[in-house]
Amino acid sequence: MKKFVFPLVFGLTLSGYAVYSVLDALIIPSGESYTVEDDDDNSFFGNNNGPKEENDLNNNQNQENPNPGNNENPEKEEPEEIITSHPDYLRYYKSDDLEVKIYKETVKTKDTFNNVMADTNIFCADVRVSDLSHFRGRFAIIDGKPTYGYHRYSTTSSIAKNGNAIFAISGDNYAGREKGYVVRNGKTYRDSVSNSEDLVVWGDGSFGTFKEKNTPLSEITSNPLGAWQVFSFGPALVVNDQIMVDDKTEITTGIAKNNGNQRSVIGIIEPLHYFITISEARLEDSFGQSLYEAAEFIKSKGVKTAYNLDGGGSATIWFDGEVLNRPKDNNTPGIGEREIGDAILFK
């Protein structure tokens, strides 16, 4: 009997390792922390998990009919023109793949404690990308590397700089919670269910929203469009042109429920054309928004669907090496970035 024990144990161990390897390749278990080496991998595009790039057909045609190798004067591509300023915008960037227009508005919002209207500053960003490879999620930077994991934090600035972004905003701060779906750049990192209403960025650049408790993540990732990003925070503010919250909807109680707050909202006008708002709050010259006010404001900009990301002291808008807003955390004196688990980058 003893002669069968070792082969049996060895076989079970080998089988267990094989199962673990498969699961580890597809889903990263919650509670783990590790460096993301393939954070800028574009394998999502052109495979079964996402849409095939439009340029593939042209590339294949070029391979079938290459330029003669003995051509002494091959045609040179014109250098890409990049524009970095515009008289109508606070910040501006335009290349073949990315256009970012940033401006600031001051609007009136309601101080429900004092029953008065107050000024609130809102940074607006109109963003267009040529394809989704320029719309990326990136984790906190630990020891110089993007790192996935619970309570793994760094600033939006450090994440943006490390990822060579042009424009960035704070993300959903998945790292502050042990549950909630996490998909970044086509890869699933966490599939544990929370009470959140999620935003999915489909592989064609369109937006969708869903409630985790009603929707297994596998249903989202197996969609023929492919799931490029899944953010778990919420709620959805606008869906199909309809505002989904009212003046009583809030995330927490206390000051956030009754008064204005910093809001970070991402919306879509059409696939690959996005609109983002970051409002300032807790400042003498900027009161903040309720969720309903944030929904009304971004809907007025023509968005079809809009989603609430992590706000409060986390809400940060960054452009080309500079934080544009004044993040303010109630628990920290002064003005400055609060560390967060992830950011959304445009590059």
73 pLDDT more than 70 = no
* Any domain includes 4: no
Q: Is residue 39 part of a domain?
A: yes
pLDDT score of 346 more than 70: yes
Helix (H) or strand (E) holding 137: strand 135-139
**Structural domain that includes position 175:** 31-66+74-346
Q: Is the pTM of this model over 0.75?
A: yes
| Domain count along the chain | 1
Predicted confidence at residue 75, as pLDDT, reads 61
Does residue 87 register a pLDDT over 90?
yes
Q: Is residue 11 part of a domain?
A: no
23 in any annotated domain = no
Instruction: Measure CA 63 to chain center.
Output: 35
Over residues 169-222, the pLDDT tens digits come to: 999 999 999 999 999 999 999 999 999 999 999 999 999 999 999 999 999 999
Q: What is the rounded CA–CA span in Å between residue 89 and residue 194?
A: 39
- Residue 5 in any domain: the answer is no
- Res. 61: pLDDT tops 60: no
Give the CA dihedral 150, 155, 156, 157, nearest 10 degrees.
-150
Residue positions counted in the chain: 347
Query: What pLDDT band is residue 165 in, cutting at 50, 70 and 90?
Result: very high
List of residues 6+ apart from 122 with CB closer than 8 A: 104, 105, 106, 107, 277, 278, 279, 280, 289, 297
Report the share of the chain in percent with pLDDT over 90: 70
Q: What angle do CA 126, 282, 346 make, to 5 degrees?
A: 25
Q: What is residue 21's predicted lDDT score, i.e. its pLDDT? A: 38
Report yes or no on 25 lying in a domain. no
- Whole-number percent of the chain with pLDDT over 70: 79
DSSP annotation string for 61-111: HHHHSPPPTT-SSPPPPPPPP-B---TTSSEEEE-SSEEEEEEEEEEEEEE
The answer as to whether 261 is a domain residue is: yes
> Looking at the domain assignment, is residue 15 inside a domain?
no
Measure the CA–CA gap between 343 and 155, rounded to whole angstroms.
9
- Of 41-45, 119-123, 182-186, 264-268, which range is least confident? 41-45
